Structure 1
Amino acid sequence: MKRTLLALMLGLSSTMASASVTVSDCVIREPAPGADKTGLYFTLTYQPDEETQSLRLPAPEALYGAVVPQLTSHTELHDMKHVDGVMTMTRIPQLPLKPGTTVSLKPGGHHVMLFDLKQRPVAGEEYDVELWLAFAPEATCKAVVKTSAQLAQEAAE
């Protein structure tokens, strides 16, 4: 019985590993002086293959959060919106990923907040990021730290 269960679990995990979530443009905003929190931004592309689609998963793939072990373990997934001329930030439990789509987490929209920083990230540094997903194996990226001015310049281009 144990062997059958183990074989089933291994088969299921290898099947789920075929779901393709790619990460690009991974950036951490350099925090303001004295601040112990900042934002993490990146782009996700979800392109499942036939094997993954045949599983008929109970829900869409989703991003649940991220961790930057060198900086913090306290993170939250957030969304920012303009409401009646005021920018509001709301914590969200997950960000659904539809097959064949790309989602950008960026300043002024969806992003991951990093709280209780162990150290202040400085522009030019790089940090390993681990993303938490519903079905695909955890995705990783190297986030480069950029200043607010650098991020604003890139957004204007």
Structure 2
Amino acid sequence: MYRKFLMLAAASLVTTSAAFAQVTVGDPWIRATVPAQKTAGAFMQLRSPKATRLVEVQTPVAGRAEVHQMGMEGQTMRMQKVDGIDLPAGQTVNLASGGYHVMLFDLKRQLKDGEQVPLTLTFVGADKKRENVTVQVPVKPLTYTAAH
């Protein structure tokens, strides 16, 4: 009887954890900054088992963090703040230079190669529930470029 109870409890936990599966963050990185620099970009790949939307980013190393998109306006590349990024269920969304990315403004200190910066990403699902995912993002050298 006790064994059946344990098996039922274990099955319940597996079902519950699958229902609340988190967004996964792949290959996050931030480019190092020079001492007086007040902005930096953060890049990564996001994937969710269910449709969700990235709506907010926070970090203790910056006064504010925003989700941005780069795009062409005529012959000029422009960057603008967006209110979020949709993550279709089961598809990877790439946050990279030249497209969607996270901008960190009013940096409180220099970001140095080799350190880790905490970022908290807030997602909102179709059910309006918020989910926070905190990642430790490595700072890469000034000359670093991500593999495509």
Q: TM-score range by the shorter chain?
A: 0.7 to 0.9
1:17, distance to aligned residue in structure 2 (A): 6.4
Q: Given the alignment, which residue of 60, 79, 85 partners 1:89? A: 79
Unaligned regions of 5+ residues in structure 1, if any?
1-13, 49-59
Alpha-carbon distance in 1 for matches of 2:19, 2:62: 27
Give the whole-Å Cα distance in 1 for the aligned partners of 2:18 and 2:49: 13
Q: Aligned in 2, Cα 1:136/1:15: closer, same or farther, shift over 3 Å?
A: farther
Equivalent-residue separation in structure 2 for 1:33 and 1:73 (angstroms): 16
Which of 37, 53, 57 aligns to 1:66? It is 57
Q: Decide which structure has greater strand share.
A: 2
Give the TM-score taking structure 1 as reference length. 0.73
The question of 1:39 aligning with 2:41 is answered yes
How much does 1:31 deviate? 2.4
Offset at residue 108 of structure 1 (A): 1.1
SS at match of 1:90: strand
The verdict on how the C-alpha distance between 1:139 and 1:17 changes in structure 2, with shifts beyond 3 A counting, is farther
What does 1:1-150 align with in structure 2 at a 5 Å threshold?
18-48=20-50, 60-69=51-60, 71-134=61-124, 135=129, 137-150=131-144
Alpha-carbon distance between aligned partners in 2 of 1:95 and 1:75, rounded to the nearest angstrom: 14
Moved more, 31-40 or 115-124: 31-40
- Structure 2 vs 1, CA of residues 74 and 15 (structure 1 numbering), >3 Å: closer, same or farther? same
CA contact (8 A) 2:70 2:98 kept: yes
- The structure number with the bigger radius of gyration is 2
Question: Mean alpha-carbon deviation: is it higher for 30-39 or for 106-115?
Answer: 30-39
Task: State the secondary structure of the residue aligned to 2:143.
Answer: helix
> Is the partner of 2:144 in helix, strand or coil?
helix
Cα pair 1:25 1:43 within 8 Å, conserved:
yes
Q: Which residue of 1 aligns with 2:6?
A: none
| RMSD (Å), alpha carbons | 2.2
Native 8 Å contact 1:21 1:136 kept in 2: no
Taking only the aligned residue pairs, the percentage that are identical comes to 31
Going from structure 1 to structure 2, the CA distance change for 1:148 and 1:84 (only over 3 Å counts) comes to farther
Give ranges in structure 2 of 5+ residues lacking alignment: 1-15
* Aligned length, in residue pairs: 129
Task: Judge conservation of contact 1:22–1:46 (CA < 8 Å) in 2.
Answer: yes
